[in-house]
Amino acid sequence: MVFRILRPNSVSVWKNEKIMKRFPRYRGILDNAQISRFLIAKSLECKFDLNNSLENLKALLKEKSME
């Protein structure tokens, strides 16, 4: 990954056991073992109107979160 070249010290932080316990998902993303949530969200089509009520937008979010 590019970050390992640009910031070699960024690898050393993952040797800390507390960091590994708190951020296992981020480590998985860095190691390409998991996909980031924004990439998943970006792949879902979601048509909405910004003028909708907050309740409608929350319902749409809940519906799309189930996909």
Domain positions in the chain are 2-66
Residue 19 token pair: 């960091």
**The pLDDT value given to residue 21:** 95
pTM of the model as a whole: 0.56
Reply yes or no on whether the pLDDT at 2 is more than 70.
no
* Cα pseudo-dihedral 45, 49, 55, 57, rounded to 10: 20
Neighbour count for residue 23 (Cβ, 10 Å): 15
**The pLDDT value given to residue 17:** 94
In the chain, the amino acid numbered 43 is: S
The DSSP element (H or E) to which 39 belongs, if any, is helix 37-43
* 23-59 tens-digit pLDDT: 999 999 988 999 988 888 788 787 888 898 999 988 9
Reply yes or no on whether the pLDDT at 66 is more than 70.
yes
